[in-house]
Amino acid sequence: MASRLFAGVDIGGTKISVVIANEEGNVLGRGRRKSRPERGFSAVMERTSETVDEACADAGVPRTDLAAVGIGAPSPILPDGTAVSAVNMGWENVPLAQTLSQLLGLPTFAENDCNVGTFGEYALGTPRRRGTLVGLFMGTGLGGGMVLEGAILRGDNALAGEIGHMTVVPDGRPCVCGKRGCLEAYASKTGLAYEFKQAILLERKQSILPSLIDEAGLDNVKSSILRRAWDEKDEVTRVALKRAARYLGIAAGNLITLLAPTTVVLGGGVMEALGDELLPLVRDAAQEHAFPPASYRAASIELASLGDDAVALGAMAYARAQLA
Amino acid sequence: MASRLFAGVDIGGTKISVVIANEEGNVLGRGRRKSRPERGFSAVMERTSETVDEACADAGVPRTDLAAVGIGAPSPILPDGTAVSAVNMGWENVPLAQTLSQLLGLPTFAENDCNVGTFGEYALGTPRRRGTLVGLFMGTGLGGGMVLEGAILRGDNALAGEIGHMTVVPDGRPCVCGKRGCLEAYASKTGLAYEFKQAILLERKQSILPSLIDEAGLDNVKSSILRRAWDEKDEVTRVALKRAARYLGIAAGNLITLLAPTTVVLGGGVMEALGDELLPLVRDAAQEHAFPPASYRAASIELASLGDDAVALGAMAYARAQLA
């Protein structure tokens, strides 16, 4: 029997990415469009459907050959595929899986993007996983997910896994969520922006960053620019990234203490660009904060292996698991 | 068919407590002895066996009428009933369930004491639970456990659930575990002792505590004394307990953010004595630190309902679940 084919869909505030993959997770075709959420939910669904067709064409397979479609989107998502609340998309309680299923005429399953990103590492990552896997994704924000013995930990109303908003410093820095001292306020591009502004604008420290950044300014420095500034030994950049890695490691240590996972996977744009430099720092801080020491020794802290395709491939693997 | 009978055994560094209960968790008989761990594992097992017989006699049932025995003990415990490491008991990799099973001639199951304490609240507590339940037990230390859809979350090598050693204050107070800033260093009798010594010995604040305590001194003030000092409006006591409640609430908020539980149960000696005063403070701090707000609203933070019998009854409920 030939391997079944799946579509994995990554819907974000900026773009829709689709992969067509076989059962083993090998990518056979791709599609990509801007998501344009300001045009409304129905329009995004239409564009998503078109992007799936584009990816099918790229793979050279008819859409009807797909066994199922998986979607990852930035929202808590209920088991019936309803996206509860996606601020970036302007969605409130929209029937995400159901709508795309009707447009495509295919079984369609939806899950939170960080959850499927974590699930993909569990199901497709190298090495294959067992036990508990925790995913930490450091990009613009800090996303996370947990997979326990193959099952995504969803919690009540699918609200679990807001790792970026766990408090790491009581009464600490303000966070975009309105609280203070959240992990995301330290270990994300938002946290880095805080450090950069403090160092460059307030403390007037020398840095090559202002000469490298684009119109987004210090608020959202591209990961490739972070890498370049690190490589050029820019002290402001290095201090900020080291501090972000330390807080990420404290959080990883806390999650090891709580969950005794087999694996903690570090992904997201910042880790994609700087993982080789930051991984040892995250491990050191995790070791310092994990308890008992045996839990740290048993837990492997690794860089994610699915890269930019993490959400789309994770969504594909999630759809595969729903059919199994 | 008559309700089956179970023994629930709580083995600690000071005492062994046994309850005989029916399937519904109604206690029919009790036994209690000193555990005397300094005499070695075999002697503790003999004393435990005798305490079970004592409880059977109290209930007026022969031991052979028991369907199974459950044990809660202060150690990570593997699924085969091996106690991996119990510092208070002097145990390293001892066959706990197997040894007691041979002595009693009954099916015997063992689990970590905080895990069965949490499991008991899930299985027998009022109201009956669903979804995820987190237990936080504030006594000499700060113990915790998690039950997800009826299953104890054990993690790799049964090491999960060390909630007391999650870092709540990076580079904070020293903890008995050798790390710094652990929850237990703030929200436990150990944490209270730190506050009392700082206030009374270093800062020479007025307090009625020195006039109330026994030979254990400020290091381990009895919960009943804490209650009395609170009721007499002793400022040192109140400030310390309020701070402990605040950090417990921060931790509860973090656990809500991470796990989106349906219920967080607060137990242990300090909460037994002062729960009515501390519960609102824990709730306030949890609300301030939980994200998203919907997760806090969905999670009920309650006082434990099984009291001193939490571990023994939880162990009984755990044995019942293993037979089912």
8 Å CB contact between A8 and A316: yes
Chain CA centroid to CA B189, Å: 13
pLDDT value of residue B316: 98
Evaluate whether residue A85 is within a structural domain.
yes
Q: Tell me: the pLDDT tens digits for A207-239?
A: 999 999 988 889 989 999 999 999 999 999 999
pLDDT at residue B294 above 80?
Answer: yes
For residue A2, the SS3 value is coil
pLDDT at residue A79 greater than cutoff 70: yes
Q: What is the rounded average pLDDT of the residues B226-247?
A: 98
**CATH code assigned at A45:** 3.30.420.40
Instruction: For residues A198 and A291, state if they share a domain.
Output: yes
Residue A309, φ and ψ in degrees, nearest 5? -85, 5
A244-271 pLDDT, tens per residue?
Answer: 999 999 999 999 999 999 999 999 999 9
**Is A273 found in the same domain as A192?**
yes
Q: Domain for residue A186, yes or no?
A: yes
Specify whether B110 is located in the same domain as B177: no
**Across A111-115, B125-129, B187-191, B291-295, least confident range:** B125-129
Q: What is the mean pLDDT of residues A163-177?
A: 96
The minimal CB distance from A258 to the residues B160, B169, B253 is found for B160
Work out the angle between the directed axes of helices A189-196 and A269-289 (0-180°, nearest 10): 90
User: Same structural domain for residues A318 and A287?
Assistant: no
Closest chain A residue to B149, measured at CA: A155
In this prediction, residue B7 carries a pLDDT of 98
- Same domain, residue pair B299 and B313: no
What is the predicted pLDDT for the residue at B71? 98
Do A212 and A249 share a structural domain? yes
Rg, Å, chain A Cα set: 20
Same domain (yes/no): A60, A165: no
**Nearest residue to B98 via CA among B120, B114, B83, B76:** B83
Which one of A257, A288, A301 would you mutate to disrupt binding with B, by most B Cβ within 10 Å of its Cβ?
A: A257
Confidence at residue A324, expressed as pLDDT on a 0 to 100 scale: 80
Residue A122 lies in a domain: no
DSSP 8-state code for residue A139: S
| Partner-chain contact A160 B260, CB within 8 Å | yes
Give B163's contacts in chain A (Cβ within 8 Å): 257-258
Nearest CA in chain A to B163: A258
Place of tokens 């209270």: B192
Q: Are residues A219 and A294 in the same domain?
A: yes
For range A62-67, the mean pLDDT: 97
> What's the ipTM?
0.95
Which tokens hold the place of A265?
């996977």
Q: What are the φ and ψ backbone dihedral angles of B25, each rounded to 5 degrees?
A: 85, 10
Place A25 in a pLDDT band, splitting at 50, 70 and 90. very high
Whether the Cβ atoms of residue A209 and residue A238 lie closer than 8 Å to each other? no
Chain A: closest CA distance from residue B153 (Å): 8
- Name chain B contacts of A158, Cβ cutoff 8 Å: 260
Residues A63 and A137 in one domain: no
Q: Summarize the confidence of residues B103-121 as an average pLDDT.
A: 97
CA distance A5 to chain B (A): 33
Domain residues for the domain of B26 are 5-121+309-323
Lowest mean pLDDT among A116-125, A175-184, B126-135, B136-145: B126-135
Residue in B closest to A253 by C-alpha:
B166
pTM score: 0.95
Q: What is the pLDDT of residues B42-72, one digit of tens each?
A: 999 999 999 999 999 999 999 999 999 999 9
d(CA B20, CA B125): 17
Count of structural domains within chain A:
2
pLDDT above 70: percentage of residues in chain B: 98
Q: Which residues of B have a CB under 8 Å from any CB of A?
A: 131-132, 146, 148, 153-163, 165-170, 177, 179, 182, 247, 250, 253-255, 257-262, 288-289, 291-292, 294-295, 298-299
Mean pLDDT of chain B: 95
pLDDT of residue A125: 84
Interface test with A, best of B162, B175, B182, B256 (most A CBs within 10 A): B162
Asked if residue A121 is part of any domain, the answer here is: no
Comparing A210-219, A290-299, B104-113, B180-189, which segment has the lowest mean pLDDT? A210-219
Answer whether A156 sits within 8 Å of B250, measured CB to CB. no
With a cut of 90, say whether residue A126 has pLDDT above it: no
Overall average pLDDT of the B83-104 stretch: 96
Residue-averaged pLDDT of chain A:
95
- Average pLDDT (B187-205) is 96
Query: What does the pLDDT read at residue A45?
Result: 98
Q: What is the DSSP string of B224-281?
A: HHHHHHHHTT-HHHHHHHHHHHHHHHHHHHHHHHHH--SEEEEESHHHHHHHHHHHHH
CB contact under 8 A, B157 and A250: no
Q: Do B87 and B137 belong together in one domain?
A: no
CA B307 to chain centre: 10
A58 and A198 assigned to the same domain: no
Q: Nearest-CA neighbor of A4 among A103, A53, A70?
A: A70
pLDDT-derived band of residue A241, with 50, 70 and 90 as boundaries? very high
- Residue A107, phi then psi, degrees to nearest 5: -60, 130
Contacts of A121 (CB under 8 A, 6+ apart): A129, A133, A135, A263, A265, A267, A304, A305, A306, A310, A314
Contacts of A177 in chain B (CB under 8 A): 291-292
Which percentage of chain B shows pLDDT scores above 90? Answer: 92
Question: What is the pLDDT, as a whole number, of residue A1?
Answer: 55
> Residue B269 pLDDT more than 70?
yes
* Residue A119 resides in a domain: no
**A163 and A76 in one domain?**
no
Q: Is the pLDDT of residue A88 over 90?
A: no
pLDDT at B3 over 90: no
